[in-house]
């Protein structure tokens, strides 16, 4: 099967549905002889920063000579980006081989698994048959009932910054959302938290680590010194060691501190990762679709910010780097409370905002007029342009900076069009 055929099988199964609980994924994996029980994991949850932490951490391990699996979601580049070993995507042929066995297993199941459960099973089987030393495993949504939470051999649980997201599934308060994400904390293990959490989130994390008898590593920001800006990213000293970041945005400093603490803990558990390995990994890490500059003249940046936490980080980045610049936003997002909060936070920053559609056929279309009315509450220079090419041409014609943000699916579409110069096909 080619990529399109694989995606059709995964995303258009009539018997697939989102359902909280681990029963289906556990049953599916049992038919594969439970590959997830034969691999070691670092499990990463949170609202924002999961992918950045996962990538910096896996790169630190790769630099140290380990065979490292990485599981992220969703993707920006292409579907195979979601499952990697030492930064090499799983291939179509490898997916085909594993998927054949999984489809046979699904035929035996009365309650059929969801798309995410199937992809997670593919990842576990892939990491096992390739003898990964360790896997950096990003949660899909929440934690407690996420399909990734069927694992047993968790060395470290990591909780990135927690904010409001997926409230229809995780709850309407920070306490409820944090409780769901703390579901990945395994008894008698180690948990590391992002150093700047909302107070109620912190208290919930602390309580859950106490209940599950975890070693809770809290990052002391008094050890963070000499922060210096280098174009869009930073250098700093932490615990007397200097680091430089390849990822853009000040918030990546705090994500990297989580990584550094995780590395220290892994060394205590028998790994061998030295300072130079970590320095090189952090300096050279890039991550598709996270404050990523992809064009010059004018500067074009894509960013997967899609919730209030991401909007605050994007706002901080713009205010630090683009004062007195003419900035255009190309955006798309589903209507709802998240959209209202997102655009309220950032709309005033832009000279012009262009709303476009999301082409991805697996995404339900949003009410563009409602998004327009939300934005107009703080910025009247907004228009709807369904054509990606027309939106892009308008944006670059009269801007110093173009930012494409509001949905990772939108970012994915523009990233692939721009990197391959595919406008001619539109």
Grade residue 368 by pLDDT with cuts at 50, 70 and 90: confident
Q: What is the pLDDT of residue 425?
A: 43
Residue-number span of the structural domain to which 400 is assigned = 292-425
Lowest mean pLDDT among 82-86, 97-101, 218-222, 292-296: 292-296
Averaged pLDDT, 70-88: 93
Cα(279)–Cα(221) distance, integer angstroms: 19
For residues 38 and 121, state if they share a domain: yes
Same domain flag for 80 and 33: yes
Other C-beta atoms within 10 Å of 201: how many? 24
Same domain? 280 vs 340: no
Closest among 304, 352, 351 to 332, alpha carbons compared? 304
253: domain CATH number? 3.40.1190.10
Residue 359 CB neighbour total at 10 angstroms: 17
Same domain, 44 and 104: yes
Mean pLDDT score across all residues of the chain: 91
CB neighbour class for 268 (10 Å; exposed up to 12, middle 13-18, buried from 19): exposed
Q: Which residue has the higher pLDDT, 266 or 16?
A: 266
Model confidence, pTM: 0.92
Q: Of 183, 188, 159, 155, which Cα lies nearest the Cα of 264?
A: 155
pLDDT for the residue 364: 42
pLDDT tens-place string over residues 149-169: 999 999 999 999 998 877 667
Percent of the chain residues past pLDDT 90, beyond the cut: 74
Give per-residue pLDDT as tens, 400-413. Answer: 999 999 988 899 88
Please compute the mean of the pLDDT values over residues 307-320 and round it to a whole number. 92
Domain shared by 252 and 369, yes or no: no
More confident residue, 134 or 7: 134
Contact by Cβ (8 Å): 247, 290: yes
SS3 (DSSP) at 71:
strand
Domain count, the chain: 2
Q: What is the CATH number of the domain that holds 330?
A: 3.90.190.20
Last residue of a domain, one of 284, 311, 329: 284
Same domain as 271, residue 335: no
Q: 18 versus 43: which is more confidently predicted?
A: 43
pLDDT at 215 over 60: yes
Query: Are 243 and 358 in a shared domain?
Result: no
Residues 205 and 262 in one domain: yes
Q: Please tell me the predicted confidence (pLDDT) of residue 407.
A: 85
225-275 per-position pLDDT tens digit: 999 998 888 999 999 999 999 999 999 999 999 999 999 999 999 999 999
Is 93 in a helix, a strand, or coil?
Answer: helix
Average of per-residue pLDDT across 48-70: 97
Do 96 and 242 have their domain in common? yes
Say yes or no: 302 and 250 in one domain: no
Same domain, 21 and 74: yes
Q: Who wins on pLDDT, 29 or 1?
A: 29
**Which pLDDT band, with edges at 50, 70 and 90, does 362 fall under?**
very low
Domain boundary residue, one of 227, 262, 284: 284
- In tens, the pLDDT along 275-288 reads 999 999 999 999 88
> Do 33 and 88 lie in a common domain?
yes
DSSP for 317-362, written as a single string = HHHHH-TT--EEEEE---SSHHHHHHHHHHGGG-SEEEE-----TT
| Domain end among 250, 284, 318 | 284
Contact 391, 384 (CB under 8 A): no
């Amino acid at each position: 099967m080619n990529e399109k055929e694989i995606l059709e099988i995964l995303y258009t199964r009539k018997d697939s549905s989102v359902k909280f609980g681990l029963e289906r994924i556990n049953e599916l994996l049992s038919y594969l002889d439970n590959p997830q029980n034969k691999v070691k994991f670092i499990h990463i949850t949170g609202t924002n920063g999961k992918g950045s932490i996962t990538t910096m951490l896996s790169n630190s391990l790769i630099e140290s000579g380990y065979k490292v699996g990485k599981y992220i979601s969703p993707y920006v580049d292409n579907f195979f980006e979601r499952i990697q070993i030492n930064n090499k995507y799983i291939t179509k042929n490898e997916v085909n081989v594993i998927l054949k066995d999984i489809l046979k297993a699904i035929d035996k199941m009365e309650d059929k698994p969801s798309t995410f459960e199937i992809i997670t099973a593919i990842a576990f089987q892939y990491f096992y048959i390739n003898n990964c030393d360790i896997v950096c495993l990003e949660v899909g949504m929440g934690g407690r009932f996420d399909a990734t939470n069927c694992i047993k051999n968790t060395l470290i649980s990591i909780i990135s910054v927690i904010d409001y997201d997926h409230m229809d599934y995780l709850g309407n308060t920070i306490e409820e959302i944090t409780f769901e994400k703390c579901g990945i904390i395994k008894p008698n293990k180690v948990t590391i938290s992002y150093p700047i959490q909302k107070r109620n989130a912190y208290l919930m994390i602390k309580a859950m680590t106490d209940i599950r008898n975890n070693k809770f590593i809290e990052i002391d920001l008094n050890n963070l010194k000499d922060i210096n800006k280098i174009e869009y990213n930073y250098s700093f000293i932490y615990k007397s060691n200097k680091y430089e970041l390849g990822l853009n945005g000040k918030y990546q400093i705090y994500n990297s501190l989580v990584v550094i603490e995780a590395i220290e803990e892994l060394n205590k558990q028998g790994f061998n990762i030295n300072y130079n390995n970590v320095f090189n990994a952090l300096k050279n890490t890039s991550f598709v679709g996270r404050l990523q500059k992809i064009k010059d003249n004018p500067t074009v940046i894509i960013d997967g910010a899609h919730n209030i936490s991401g909007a605050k980080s994007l706002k901080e980045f713009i205010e630090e780097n683009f004062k007195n610049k003419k900035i255009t936003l190309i955006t798309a997002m589903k209507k709802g409370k998240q959209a209202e909060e997102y655009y309220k936070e950032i709309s005033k920053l832009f000279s012009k905002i262009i709303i476009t559609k999301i082409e991805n056929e697996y995404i339900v279309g949003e009410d563009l007029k409602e998004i327009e009315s939300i934005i107009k509450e703080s910025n009247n220079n907004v228009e709807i342009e369904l054509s990606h090419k027309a939106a892009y041409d308008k944006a670059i014609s009269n801007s110093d900076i173009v930012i494409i943000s509001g949905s990772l699916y939108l970012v994915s579409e523009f990233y692939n069009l721009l990197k391959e110069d595919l406008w001619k096909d539109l």
